[in-house]
Structure 1
Amino acid sequence: MLIAGSSIGEIKNLKTRLSAAFKMKDLGPAKQILGMKISWDRSAGTLNLPQELYIEKVLSRFRVNDAKPTVGSLMYAMVCTRPDIAHVVGVVSRYMANPGKEHWEAVKWLLRYLRGTSSTSLCFGKGNVTLQGFVDADLGGDVDSSKSTSGYIYTIGGTVVSWMSRLQKCVSLSSTEAE
């Protein structure tokens, strides 16, 4: 397994061993993965994973009042590189079986937010590899069910690597229970 700090020799050795076992070509450094552009800044020691092109496609595709496929497209962005929209995507997705006008308004608000932040990306850099985790919950924040929402976010070196925002399964009777 390659990890940060692997030498070029180790990487070349791995490529040689893989090409002996499998038919493969070395196409050079990766430029894209799962529709995300990979942006390297070797002098700064950073790797960025923006979804700007994907978000622009979603924005241009959904200029119609059809919230269901729009929310599915927003979920893909959220799962890959946009933890900042996890909560609102979770909220609007609860109503996709029978969306109302206010739900579509929330989706349009989210699309406008993404328009202004489409260049936001996860940025991985060398150096600090401290793992941090943050967890929180509200108390009865869902107006329809009085259920609480829990969320967490984990970072390594200040860059988000795992996140979640989810409605709890039962109604909490106290903030202690919600937490």
Structure 2
Amino acid sequence: MSDLGALTYYLSIEVRQGREALMLGQSAYASKLLERSGMTECKPCVTLMEERLKLTKASTAAKVDATLYRSIVGDMRYLVHTRPDIAFAVGYVSRFMEDPREDHWATVKRLLRYIKGTVDHGIIFPKTGGSRLQLTVFSDADMAGDIHGRQSTSGVLVFLGSALISWLSLK
């Protein structure tokens, strides 16, 4: 067995270890995702999705290439490991993988434009320096927000540490 030094890269996750924090990101993976989707030259946007966007499985818009749609959304699902800010939007567009339509694809493209503008974002875990750990929990639900099946989407964030985990630019 040999010592390879400090971890810097593992399964497309970039690891930076500093004195104050441990940083995880996937900027190279995000750039490859934009390249595979043909969105490297797109104009970045600052928001993930349109406000109060309601997509449906019963859309009458034109069909899109289901293989490409599934591939891009699947790649974005892996990007969520270090990008919790896109988790809801990726989960939302994942609902339409069975029969993707133009309006679903437009939402995916907007998400890709957001990723283009935030390609260097990731997670920062501050080092606590021996201070007491604090448990912080947030939860939310949209109360039957799925217009097709009237199911609720809920989410829970659990933080254990002296500070909240943030997703900031790693540069």
TM above 0.5, yes or no, is yes
- Paired with 1:154 and 1:117, the residues of 2 have a C-alpha distance of 24
1:135 and 2:136 correspond: no
Residues 10-44 of structure 1: per-residue CA shift (max 9 Å, x gap): xxxxxxxxxxxxxx1001111112211111222xx
Give the drift of 1:51.
0.7
- Paired with 2:18 and 2:105, the residues of 1 have a C-alpha distance of 39
- Paired with 2:155 and 2:11, the residues of 1 have a C-alpha distance of 25
- Paired with 1:61 and 1:131, the residues of 2 have a C-alpha distance of 39
- Normalised by the size of structure 2, how large is the TM-score? 0.73
Aligned match of 1:93? 94
Aligned match of 2:4? 27
Aligned match of 1:59? 34
Give the drift of 1:143.
1.8
- Paired with 1:33 and 1:81, the residues of 2 have a C-alpha distance of 12
Aligned match of 1:123? 124
The Cα RMSD (Å) is 1.6
Instruction: Tell me the amino acid that sits aligned with residue 107 of structure 2.
Output: A
Classify the secondary structure of the residue corresponding to 1:133.
strand
Give the drift of 1:135.
0.9
- Counting matched residue pairs gives 134
Moved more, 32-41 or 59-68: 59-68
- Normalised by the size of structure 1, how large is the TM-score? 0.70
Residues 142-161 of structure 1: per-residue CA shift (max 9 Å, x gap): 1222211111111232116x
Classify the secondary structure of the residue corresponding to 1:104.
helix
Q: Spell out the pairing of 1:1-179 with structure 2 (5 A cutoff).
A: 24-42=1-19, 45-63=20-38, 66-78=68-80, 80-127=81-128, 129-156=133-160, 157-159=163-165
Classify the secondary structure of the residue corresponding to 2:29.
helix
Classify the secondary structure of the residue corresponding to 2:110.
helix
Q: Which structure has the larger Rg over C-alpha atoms?
A: 1
- Paired with 2:158 and 2:94, the residues of 1 have a C-alpha distance of 23
Give the drift of 1:140.
1.4
Classify the secondary structure of the residue corresponding to 2:155.
strand
Identity %: 39
| Greater RCO, 1 or 2 (C-alpha within 8 Å, sep 6+) | 2
Write 1 or 2 for the structure with the bigger share of helix. Answer: 1
- Paired with 1:112 and 1:71, the residues of 2 have a C-alpha distance of 14
Where does structure 2 lack aligned partners over 5 or more consecutive residues? 40-64, 167-171
